Structure 1
Amino acid sequence: MSDLASLAEILDRAAHERVATPQLTHARPELTVEDAYEIQRLSIDRRLQRGERRVGVKMGLTSRAKMQQVGVDQMAWGRLTDKMLIEEGGSLALANFVHPRIEPEIAFLMSAPLAGRVTMAQALAAVAAVAPAMEVIDSRYENFKFALADVIADNSSSSGFVVGSWNDPHQDISNLGVILEIDGEVVEVGSSAAILGHPLRSLVAAARMVSEGGERIEAGDIVLAGGITAAPTLAKGQSIRTTVQNLGSVSIRVDA
């Protein structure tokens, strides 16, 4: 087994067994971003071999709030699988995660493949629908602390996601108000403009970055554009709802 494959196994085991692990860069400070994406690919491949199916990609660290919260200053991307999908209005069990947090998102449903350097107009032409969404992020590292290479290797902290009703993608989504509520109390307020000034810019970046990784966004894929606000920690018994102006709401609950 190669060195990178061994590191991928460490992260896969941490996610599978829900046990935090030390940052990879503590022992391997020389890890590059390229190494990290290869570790991510190898780790996700282990899940696919167990029967999971790739259903899309997620963009991470696309807002200043997220960069400040985790101390990283570059975008990253990760892969989504069908096992990560949570039914809208459904529930999640904290026992399936290490230390999960949740953040409001905008989701795109793709009608055509998208790859390489594209314009916002070309990106929009490949979108079938847009929806309010939430992502469960759950760093497998101790104390939710990591360097850029660490978080990329760890699938950019992506652990689960829930998508609301799909809407017409041709409406203006550049500056939609977003409210995140926990147990009926507003805990975060933001705007879709927090995603690189316009969520479509995140889709443009995703097309380029995924291509650089030797893949492409496929028709039927779901693309999460990135967290809009800081991500609060989840606790037992909570009811979580995100409402996005003009797009509607999406909700889940945490098992008690």
Structure 2
Amino acid sequence: MDRGWRARRADRGEAAAGRGGRGPPAPAGPEHRGQDPAHTVNDRPGAEGAAGLTDAEIRAEAELLDTAERERRQVRQTTGVHPHMTVDEAYRVQAAWLDIRLGRGEQVVGNKIGLTSRAMQQAMSIDTPDSGFLTDAMVFAPGEPITAADFCDLRLEVELAFVLADDLYGAGLKVDDVLDATDHVTAAVELIASRTPRTDPATSRTRTVVDTIADNAADAGIVTGGLPVGPRDLDLRWVGAIAHRNGTVEETGLAAGVLDHPANGIVWLARRYAEQGLSLRAGQVILSGSFTRPMAVSPGDEFRFDFGPLGSFDIPIV
């Protein structure tokens, strides 16, 4: 395939430096396994641990979600026991869960950004996206059969994935900085799963954004495929996708539905990291946000995702 965009990047010299100012160097040592810039409970974004829940309570909620993931069953909502949990505390739970997974040998490969559409933000009564982590255990190949029973309430969402060539750091980052720091953009599908129920049977409480954030922003996996393109080869707002289920069009969408430009979510995430003195790292994969509704799946479904100039790939559900 044409690799002209790589040559153009080299000609501009963009692969040599981080965008918006290089962040602090990644600490060395076993406490920083994988590619995550900082994964510990007390130093991830939103994880300052200032008030409210104790570290033991945070760890207990993370362990419960981890059990739900491993045993493939939903558990009670996090806010069912901690109704006043804050967004920052939810990110502490998420960070503690990541620590548990890294302790099993998983490696961080990137991040996902969620709640990027106005409709989803209104439904959750918020005005900002959320984010979660991606590890190597969450990466699936295009065409690889996905077993629905391995997930809690599995659904699929259509997205674009940005693969970073350079670090991204700084509170003043803009879309151009994200594009400059991106090696390529590729078609992607996110596997989403809910380790907690939409409505808690014990309390009748509706799941909140706090529950979702603690639950790794509902992220369960990623499939990338098709044809990678340079970040400036196309107007990414106009990249569309058609999702077919068993030969019938199930969903269509346009990437402009993600905050008007799919790179805007990455701007938000990089700024959020910068508040903690952290950066997004070169080599990471960033899921920029869905531009279709989540699609429920059943064993036997055959999905095909057509991204036009970005190619297509299949996901069989078993």
**TM-score, length-scaled by structure 2:** 0.76
Q: Which residue of 1 aligns with 2:291?
A: 228
Q: Which residue of 2 aligns with 1:80?
A: 134
In 2: Cα distance, 1:92 partner to 1:65 partner: 28
**1:124 maps to 2:183:** no
Q: Which residue of 1 aligns with 2:215?
A: 154
Q: Which amino acid aligns with 1:236?
A: P
Correspondence list, 1:100-139, <5 A? 100-117=154-171, 118-139=173-194
In 2: Cα distance, 1:214 partner to 1:155 partner: 21
Deviation at 1:168, TM superposition (A): 1.7
Deviation at 1:212, TM superposition (A): 3.8
Contact 1:134 1:163 in 2 (8 A): yes
In 2: Cα distance, 1:168 partner to 1:241 partner: 23
Runs of 4+ displaced beyond 2 Å = 64-68, 70-74, 209-216
Contact 1:66 1:229 in 2 (8 A): no
Deviation at 1:214, TM superposition (A): 5.7
Deviation at 1:210, TM superposition (A): 3.2
Residue range with higher mean Cα deviation, 188-197 or 159-168: 159-168
In 2: Cα distance, 1:105 partner to 1:66 partner: 15
Deviation at 1:237, TM superposition (A): 1.2
Larger Rg: 2
In 1: Cα distance, 2:275 partner to 2:316 partner: 37
Number of residue pairs matched by the alignment: 254
Please give the secondary structure, in 2, of the residue aligned with 1:30.
coil
The alignment yields a C-alpha RMSD, in angstroms, of: 1.6
In 1: Cα distance, 2:60 partner to 2:281 partner: 29
The structure, 1 or 2, with the larger RCO (C-alpha pairs under 8 Å, 6+ apart) is: 1
Contact 1:177 1:244 in 2 (8 A): yes
**Structure 1 pair 103/168, CA: closer, same or farther in 2 (3 Å)?**
same
Contact 2:159 2:290 in 1 (8 A): yes
**1:238 maps to 2:267:** no
In 1: Cα distance, 2:296 partner to 2:125 partner: 19
Please give the secondary structure, in 2, of the residue aligned with 1:240.
strand
Q: Which amino acid aligns with 2:284?
A: D
Aligned-residue sequence identity (percent) comes to 35
Q: Which residue of 1 aligns with 2:152?
A: 98
**Of 22, 44, 47, which aligns to 2:98?**
44
**Structure 1 pair 215/158, CA: closer, same or farther in 2 (3 Å)?**
farther
In 2: Cα distance, 1:16 partner to 1:72 partner: 30
Contact 1:133 1:250 in 2 (8 A): no
Structure 2 stretches lacking a partner, 5+ long: 1-54, 200-205
In 2: Cα distance, 1:30 partner to 1:147 partner: 11
Please give the secondary structure, in 2, of the residue aligned with 1:174.
helix
**Of 231, 235, 238, which aligns to 1:169?**
231
